Amino acid sequence: MRRVLIACAGAHPEVLRSPAPRVFLREFGEHAFTFELWAYIHIRDVAVKVRTESDLRHAIAQAFRAAGCDLCCLSWELRQ
């Protein structure tokens, strides 16, 4: 999971290389693990933040489906 999340963030052109994206395993749920992805971007306007969040969600969903993983309990935090 961690590698998929980091790869998706690293592939996005708006995500900064430094500080590097980070993934945290936040908790163990009854039927899922909760991961949190931190990806840093320069926010020139709100549209960049919203578009980047959306792009990352789509890329992660596609990558998880390709890996045969179900999506549950994703949390997001983009920092500037």
pLDDT in tens, 18-60: 999 999 999 998 777 889 999 999 988 899 999 999 999 999 9
The residue-averaged pLDDT of 50-71 equals 90
What the chain holds in terms of domains, given with CATH numbers, is: 2-79 (3.30.70.1350)
Which of 68, 59, 64 minimizes the C-alpha distance to 39? 59
pTM for the whole structure: 0.79
Residue pair 75/36 in contact by the 8 Å Cβ criterion: yes
For residues 33-48, one letter each, b for 16 or more C-beta atoms within 10 angstroms of the residue's C-beta and e for the rest, the string is eebbbbbbbeeeeeee
pLDDT of residue 72: 56
pLDDT of residue 76: 59
Task: Check pLDDT > 70 for residue 80.
Answer: no
pLDDT of residue 73: 52
Tell me how many degrees the CA angle 66-38-41 measures, rounded to the nearest 5: 105
